[in-house]
C-alpha cells in the first residue's frame, strides 16, 4: 500500500509501475502534476506495469490535465479505479482494464472519452458532476453503447449530471440490480419495453420528470422517488414491494393500474398537493403491511372501501384533514393491525372512533382528547406512548390497559403527579418513561408497579421527590437526566435518595453511570 499526498513541490510522479508487490495506490493533493507520463510506469521490462495493483485512486489533482496510457496491458490486476475532483483532466483511461470491477469518476467536468472502452468485468459504476450530454462522451449514443458493453454491471449511480437529457432503459445491461439517479435536472425518461427487474431504483431531484409509470421505469423491488418537483403523476409499477415517495411537492395523483400483490410497504412524505391515496386499495394492494403518511395536508380521507385487511402498521403524522376524519377510518375492520401512530396537528373536538383489539403498540401525540374506554378496549395493547394530551391526569386516574408492558408519557404540561391508583394496577408494566413533563413534582408512594424493571425520567425540571419507601425491587435500570432539583438527591453514597436506589444494578444520572 502506498499513498502520495500534499507533495506540493513535486511536478512528476515517480516510476511506481515496477513495484512488484504494490496492491493499493492513492495519489492526491499534488497540484503541480499536470501529466501522468510514461515515467509513471517505469522502464520497459518483461513484467507488465503495476502487475499486482488492485486499487488506484486519484483525488483533488487540481492541475492534472492528461493521463498518458501505454496500451500494453498495464494494470492487469486492477479492480477499483477512482478519480475524484480533478477539474482539468481531459485524457484517456487505460484501454483494456480486464479485471476492473468498480469505477468512480467524480467532479471531473472536462473528462471525456472519444470511444467506449472495454469494461466487460465492471460490476459497479459511479459518475458524478459531469457536464457532458453523454456523461463521459459528447454524444448520448456513445454513453448508451458504453453501458451496453458493461455486460456484468450490477450497480449504476449517476449524480449531478446536469446536461444528461435522456436515458433509455432498454440500453442497459440486464445484469443491473441497482440504479440511482440524482440531481439530473434535465433528465427525462424515455418509454421502453424492458424486462429488467431491479432490486433498487432511486430517483432524486430529477426535476424534468413529470410522470413515473411502468412504461418509463424498470420494475424494482424497492422504488424511491425524492424531491422530483415537476412530478405530478405516479403509477405504481407492478412488482414493487417497497415504495418511498418524499418531497414531491406537486404530486397530485398516485395510482395503481392493476392488482399489485407484491406491494408491502408504502411511505409518502411531504407531498403537499396529494389529495388522495390510490382508489380500491383493498382490492388492488391486498398484501400491504405498512403505511406511513407524513406531512400530506391535502389528503382528506382513506379510499372508498377502506384500507387493505392485511395492514399491520399505520403511521400518520401532520395530515390534518385526514386526522379530523378519523371517525370514518373504520380501523376496527383491520384484523391484522398491530401498530398505530398518530401525530396530530390540529385542535379537534372529541371524536368517537373504534380501534381493533389486535393493536399491540399505540402512539398518540397532540390530540385534544383520548377516551379511557377506547384504551381499555385494546386488550392486546403492550406499548403505549402518549404526548401532549391535556387530559392526561384524568386518563391515568381512570386507569390504563392492564396488558401494558411499556408506557411513555411525554410533553404533558398538565401532569403534576402520578396517580397512585393509575399505575399500581399495571402488573405487567416493565418499562416506564416520563419526559418533558415540566410541572411534574413528585412520584408518590406506591405509584410505581412492583413489576417495573426500567425507569427513565428526562427533562422534568420541577421533579424533586421520589417514593420515600424506595423503588420497586424488580427495578434493574434507572436513568434520570435534566432534573436539576432531583439530581443532588441521587448523589452516590451521599444523596437523600441514595439508600432507596442503591440496590438498582444500573443507575445513570445525567449520562454518567454511578
What pLDDT was estimated at residue 46? Answer: 63
- C-alpha to C-alpha distance for 270 and 185, rounded to whole angstroms: 20
Question: CB count, 10 Å around CB of 108?
Answer: 24
Q: Which residues of the chain have pLDDT under 50?
A: none
DSSP 279-348: TTHHHH-TT--EEEEES-TT--SPPTT-S-TT--EEEEES-HHHHTTGGGS-GGG-TT--EEEEE--S-P
What pLDDT was estimated at residue 348? Answer: 55
Torsion of CA 296, 300, 306, 308, to 10 degrees: -10
Question: CB count, 10 Å around CB of 174?
Answer: 11
Do 410 and 386 touch, CB atoms closer than 8 A?
yes
What pLDDT was estimated at residue 269? Answer: 97
- C-alpha to C-alpha distance for 510 and 514, rounded to whole angstroms: 10
What pLDDT was estimated at residue 61? Answer: 94
Q: Which one, of 130, 136, 132, lies nearest residue 108 by Cα? A: 130
What pLDDT was estimated at residue 352? Answer: 63
What pLDDT was estimated at residue 270? Answer: 96
Do 43 and 15 touch, CB atoms closer than 8 A?
yes
What pLDDT was estimated at residue 351? Answer: 55
What pLDDT was estimated at residue 346? Answer: 57
Q: Which one, of 110, 106, 77, 109, lies nearest residue 94 by Cα? A: 77
What pLDDT was estimated at residue 81? Answer: 95
What pLDDT was estimated at residue 98? Answer: 87
Prediction pTM value? 0.88
Amino acid at each position: 500500500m502506498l499513498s502520495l499526498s500534499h507533495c506540493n513541490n513535486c511536478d512528476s510522479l515517480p516510476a511506481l509501475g515496477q513495484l512488484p508487490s504494490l496492491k493499493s495506490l492513492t495519489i492526491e493533493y499534488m497540484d503541480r502534476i499536470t501529466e501522468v507520463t510514461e515515467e509513471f510506469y517505469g522502464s520497459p521490462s518483461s513484467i507488465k506495469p503495476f502487475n499486482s495493483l488492485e486499487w488506484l485512486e486519484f483525488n483533488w489533482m487540481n492541475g492534472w490535465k492528461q493521463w498518458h496510457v501505454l496500451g500494453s496491458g498495464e494494470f492487469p490486476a486492477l479492480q477499483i479505479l477512482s478519480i475524484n475532483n480533478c477539474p482539468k483532466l481531459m485524457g484517456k483511461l487505460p484501454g483494456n482494464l480486464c479485471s476492473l470491477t468498480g469505477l468512480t469518476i467524480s467532479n471531473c467536468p472536462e473528462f471525456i472519452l472519444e470511444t467506449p472502452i472495454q469494461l466487460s468485468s465492471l460490476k459497479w459504476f459511479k459518475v458524478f458532476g459531469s457536464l457532458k450530454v453523454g456523461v463521459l462522451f459528447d454524444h448520448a449514443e456513445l454513453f448508451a453503447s458504453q453501458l451496453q458493453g458493461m455486460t456484468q454491471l450490477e450497480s449504476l449511480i449517476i449524480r449531478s449530471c446536469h446536461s444528461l437529457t435522456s436515458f433509455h432503459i432498454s440500453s442497459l445491461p440486464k445484469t443491473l440490480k441497482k440504479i440511482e439517479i440524482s440531481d439530473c435536472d434535465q433528465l427525462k425518461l424515455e418509454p421502453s419495453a424492458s424486462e429488467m427487474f431491479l432490486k433498487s431504483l432511486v430517483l432524486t431531484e430529477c426535476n424534468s420528470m413529470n410522470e413515473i409509470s411502468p412504461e418509463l421505469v424498470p420494475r424494482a423491488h424497492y422504488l424511491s422517488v425524492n424531491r422530483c418537483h415537476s412530478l405530478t403523476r405516479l403509477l405504481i409499477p407492478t412488482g414493487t414491494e417497497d415504495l418511498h415517495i418524499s418531497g414531491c411537492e406537486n404530486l397530485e395523483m398516485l395510482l395503481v393500474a392493476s392488482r399489485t400483490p407484491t406491494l408491502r410497504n408504502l411511505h409518502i412524505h411531504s407531498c403537499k398537493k396529494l389529495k388522495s391515496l390510490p382508489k380500491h386499495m383493498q382490492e388492488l394492494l391486498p398484501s400491504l403491511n405498512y403505511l406511513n403518511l407524513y406531512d400530506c395536508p391535502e389528503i382528506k380521507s382513506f379510499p372508498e372501501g377502506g384500507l387493505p385487511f392485511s395492514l399491520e402498521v399505520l403511521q400518520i403524522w401532520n395530515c390534518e384533514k385526514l386526522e379530523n376524519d378519523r371517525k370514518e377510518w373504520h380501523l376496527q375492520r383491520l384484523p391484522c393491525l398491530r401498530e398505530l401512530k398518530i401525530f396530530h396537528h390540529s385542535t379537534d373536538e372529541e371524536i368517537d372512533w373504534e380501534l381493533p383489539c389486535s393493536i399491540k403498540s399505540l402512539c398518540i401525540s397532540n390530540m385534544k382528547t383520548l377516551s379511557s374506554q377506547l384504551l381499555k378496549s385494546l386488550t392486546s395493547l403492550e406499548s403505549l406512548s402518549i404526548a401532549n394530551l391535556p387530559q392526561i391526569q384524568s386518563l391515568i386516574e381512570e386507569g390504563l390497559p392492564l396488558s401494558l408492558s411499556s408506557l411513555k408519557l411525554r410533553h404533558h404540561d398538565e401532569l403534576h403527579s402520578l396517580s397512585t391508583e393509575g399505575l399500581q394496577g399495571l402488573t405487567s408494566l416493565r418499562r416506564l418513561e416520563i419526559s418533558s413533563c415540566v410541572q411534574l413534582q413528585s412520584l408518590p408512594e406506591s405509584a410505581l408497579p412492583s413489576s417495573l424493571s426500567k425507569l427513565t425520567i428526562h427533562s422534568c425540571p420541577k421533579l424533586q421527590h421520589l417514593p420515600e419507601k424506595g423503588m420497586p425491587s424488580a427495578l434493574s435500570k434507572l436513568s434520570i437526566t435534566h432534573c436539576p432539583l432531583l439530581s443532588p438527591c441521587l448523589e452516590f453514597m451521599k444523596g437523600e435518595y441514595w439508600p432507596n436506589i442503591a440496590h438498582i444494578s444500573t443507575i445513570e444520572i445525567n449520562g454518567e453511570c454511578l
